[in-house]
Amino acid sequence: MSDEVTEELKTQVVEFFKQKNKMLTARDVANGLGLDHKTAKKALTELVNDGTLEFTSFGGATFIKLVES
């Protein structure tokens, strides 16, 4: 699989967050969607930059979650 981030991949990531309904790590997303860790991080970063997701720190670890509207 290429490390290109498509709109379809971003949609899958957002749906995964909605399904899990909790804070996740980049590794959780990569494993849950069967992605390369690097590709997952790239997609997550783009979604954070778009304002769809946000980073949060909890107990010394960095998690990602959906932005609450």
The topology under which CATH files domain 7-66 is Arc Repressor Mutant, subunit A (1.10.10)
Lowest mean pLDDT among 4-8, 19-23, 25-29, 46-50: 4-8
Q: Is the pLDDT of residue 24 over 80?
A: yes
Q: Is the pLDDT of residue 3 over 70?
A: no
* Distance between CA atoms of residues 1 and 8, nearest Å: 14
Tokens of 39: 């590709």
Domain residue ranges of the chain, discontinuous segments joined by +: 7-66
Which residues lie below 8 Å from residue 66, measured CB to CB, with a gap of 6+?
Answer: 14, 17, 18, 52, 53, 54
Whether this model's pTM surpasses 0.75: yes
What pLDDT score does 1 carry?
47
